[in-house]
Chains A and B, each alone.
Chain A
Amino acid sequence: MKQMTEAQLNELEQDLNAIRDEVLADLGERDANYIRRVVRLHRALEVGGRVMMPFGFIPPVFVAATAALGLSKIIENMEIGHNVMHGQYDWMNDPSLHSQTYEWDTACDSDSWRLTHNYEHHTYTNIIGKDRDYGYALLRLSDDEKWRPAHSLQFVNYILLSVFFQWGVALHEMEFERVRRGEVSLKEKLPFFKGFLRKGGRQAFKDYVFFPLITFPVAPIVLAGNVGANLIRNLWSSTVIFCGHFTQDAETFTEEECEGESKGHWYLRQLSGSSNFSGNRFVHLLSGHLSYQMEHHVFPDLPAHRYPEISEKVQAVCKKHGIHYNTGSFAKQYGTVLKRIFSYSLPDRVRQRIAPQMA
């Protein structure tokens, strides 16, 4: 992380606050119309997908139905659920778009998400030991963690995590690694686990029991389509999220350097620990604008569709303060993520020999 004096950090804070204030002052009908349009698109895709699915014995219809349902889940999770739960639309005072009551279409219980993501991940971003999103307690992605032989298989773990991403996220708060180390007891985790069963059960019931059953003669087709739609969503969201913090230049931090940090330091850490990728409007929509992860991490509660507009200003602030604005094409950024997962699966000595830039 760039070393900055307190005065410089204060200036950074003011520069970013100015961008934030400008957007806040301008929030209104345009933002409300945007999110309502996206919600309408989601409803149309979900209804369309579910209605077409029983006719999936016609192959092109199966593809269209699965794609529509998959897209609907992606849009609901990324652009609606994730962003609404950040409080981006609380100012609208619409109970159906309120951060504390919104429940999304994925196995993870919203209350658990609000705790592990909104609070833990967004407050302690990339602080090793405090941000459990860093590697999901499953992957070794920096030198902060010592290499163990089990890490050599972490690429397989990564693929499994991506395939079952909604379940991984849903069980995140279970803290298996801490339970295993005896830091928390299973009993303490019981309330969480009940919540997991309720929400996860509800999601599994809907996609894997209810909709196949009511379309009984074609149940296998509907089941396959629903599994496919969930898989599409899992792979895409996992990929987008990995591109947000695990690219080559996304930094990690220690607890010591962040102790009692100022807002300016928090801003600097958010910028240094996040990374963007470029793309067209459709890509940004499907990623819930997490393709602007840096903007999202400095302003998590500004409506995400504003990130493209403020990106230039954030870049200018970064340039002024000499902070690296970490962006690139999707392929390039994702490539560095894969490389990171692979190279940290190797023992340090091997890694330094074949991938010295990761050392």
Chain B
Amino acid sequence: MLSRIERSSALQWLGKQLFNREDPTAFFDPLLERINPMWVQQYTPARVERVIDETADTKTFVLKPAKRWSGFEAGQHVNICIDIDGVRRNRTFSLSSAPAQWNDQSTVTLTIKRLPGGLVTNWMHDHLQAGDTLGLGEAFGDFLVPEASEPLLYIAGGSGITPVLSQLETLAASDYRAPVTLLYFVRTQADIIGAEKLYSLRQNWPAFTLNVVATNESEQPRFLRESDLEEVPGIKARRCYLCGPKGLMDLAGDLLDRQGIAEDRRHSTFFAAARAALDTDSLGGAVHFSRSDLNVSSEGDAVLLDIAEAAKLSPRYGCRMGICHQCSCKKTSGTVVNRLTGKSSGPGEENIQLCISVPQGPVTVEL
């Protein structure tokens, strides 16, 4: 009911006057949350219905978002937010279920692999249980199934299979007749994510060819090779979808070049690989100020406030020594080091103080 207030501009205006906030309906959240966490208005809550073990290090979380969530298309991803030790963490994951499941049962699934050292994925594996809630953003991304029927090739690696699962299920349900091949690279046969779904698709969907390749079961690692592509019938006429770790994506890109498959017939989507820990000497990096659409590079221990000012921006600032928070600003991606504590931030979206934050690699700041 409250979300309907959001849509009436007069009530929205009144709400802002009465509650001093841009999202007036969220004013009551602290009380509503106690009665039913699904009534929270600040974000779209989603309740964990079930947790399913996929492999030793991968789980599928079946979520029931609040009714006002707008749904998604197969292959899209969402941002989720979870409070861990009092800190709200935002991360992006692909939806692994098909939109039909959202329409029929009002549920969606996230299939998430533990990242070594990853704060959020490990926390979700260890703590998130049926009955808990998390925040769900609206779906986004242009990794979408083709509009017209044509031969397809999917190349996926590891947990890069998740948006592909959503797409395959959608295609199968639409009785897609053109040939669809999936080359799925996993470390060992035990690491196949969505195995049950994939095997059942192979059985019930004649257009579908499944080729699972275990990379680490022989003495020599078995990566994607030219012959894998050549064995795909009519490879040159296929539209290609890629999702996997960077090594696989680069390799596939080269091999598809050799097959002469044009760029506009290739689709790839992000893959949330944990960035290797940077050594603390490697400060500086490319800084993107997103609101001003400005790119600059920085070296050494220059703080973002100085970098912004050198780029002729005039962010608000105060004490310039980390006290007054006048210069606090949203970082949308990248890692920064706090000059006072020497600590590195997380890679995701969070608020930082410009006057004491030094970029460590590429950083995007909302300025």
Contact = CB atoms under 8 A, between A and B. Distances in A.
Interface string A74-104: 0000000000011100111111101111011
Main SS of chain B's interface residues? mixed
A205 interface: yes
Contacts of B329: 100
B4 interface: no
A33 interface: yes
B119 interface: no
Contacts of A90: 325, 328, 351, 353
A23 B69 CA distance: 39
B31 A99 contact: no
B21 A103 contact: yes
A90 B90 CA distance: 15
Interface in A1-48: 21, 24, 27-33, 36, 39-40, 43-44, 47
B313 to A, nearest CB: 16
B351 A119 contact: no
B323 A92 contact: no
A39 B341 CA distance: 30
Contacts, number: 105
Contact of B30 (A24, A27, A43, A85): A43
B50 interface: no
Nearest to B88: A93
A89 to B, nearest CB: 9
B121 interface: no
A40 B20 contact: no
Count chain A CB atoms within 10 A of each CB in B18, B23, B89, B351 and give the residue with the most.
B351
A298 to B, nearest CB: 10
Contacts of A87: 324-325, 328, 353
Interface in B86-120: 86-90
Contact of A119 (B21, B29, B319, B350): B319
Given A39-B30, A118-B318, A210-B18, A93 B89 contact: yes
Interface string B160-193: 0000000000000000000000000000000000
A118 B325 CA distance: 8
Contacts of B23: 96
Contacts of B28: 43, 47
A202 B325 contact: no
Contacts of B147: none
A123 interface: yes
A36 B31 CA distance: 10
Contacts of A205: 17
Contacts of A40: 30-31, 34
B88 A36 contact: no
B122 interface: no
A23 to B, nearest CB: 12
A301 B318 CA distance: 14
Contact of A122 (B34, B89, B324, B341): B324
B346 to A, nearest CB: 9
B42 interface: yes
B268 interface: no
Nearest to A42: B30
Contact of A96 (B42, B321, B324, B325): B42
B356 to A, nearest CB: 11
Given A93-B89, A118-B318, A24 B324 contact: no
Contact of A43 (B22, B31, B86): B31
Q: How extensive is the interface on chain B, given as a class? A: 35 or more
B323 A300 contact: yes
A47 B318 contact: no
B351 A114 contact: no
B228 to A, nearest CB: 43
A28 B86 contact: yes
A33 B34 CA distance: 13
Nearest to A121: B324
A206 interface: yes
A96 B21 CA distance: 9
Nearest to B338: A24
B270 interface: no
A30 to B, nearest CB: 7
A121 to B, nearest CB: 10
B83 interface: yes
Contacts of B319: 119, 122-123
Interface in A260-277: 263
A115 B87 contact: no
Count chain A CB atoms within 10 A of each CB in B20, B83, B87 and give the residue with the most.
B20
Given A36-B30, A115-B326, A210 B17 contact: yes
Interface in A97-152: 98-101, 103-105, 114-115, 118-119, 122-123
A99 B20 CA distance: 14
B27 interface: yes
Contacts of A44: 31
A126 B323 CA distance: 17
Contacts of B89: 93
A103 to B, nearest CB: 4
Contacts of A21: 341
Return the 10 tightest CB-CB contacts between A and B, nearest first: A32-B86, A87-B325, A119-B318, A40-B30, A93-B88, A103-B20, A28-B85, A29-B86, A118-B324, A99-B325
23 contacts: A24-B341, A27-B86, A28-B85, A30-B86, A40-B34, A43-B31, A86-B325, A87-B353, A90-B325, A91-B86, A93-B349, A93-B350, A96-B42, A99-B325, A100-B328, A100-B329, A105-B20, A118-B318, A118-B324, A118-B325, A123-B318, A123-B324, A210-B18
Given A36-B30, A101-B22, 4 more contacts: A32-B87, A87-B328, A93-B90, A122-B324
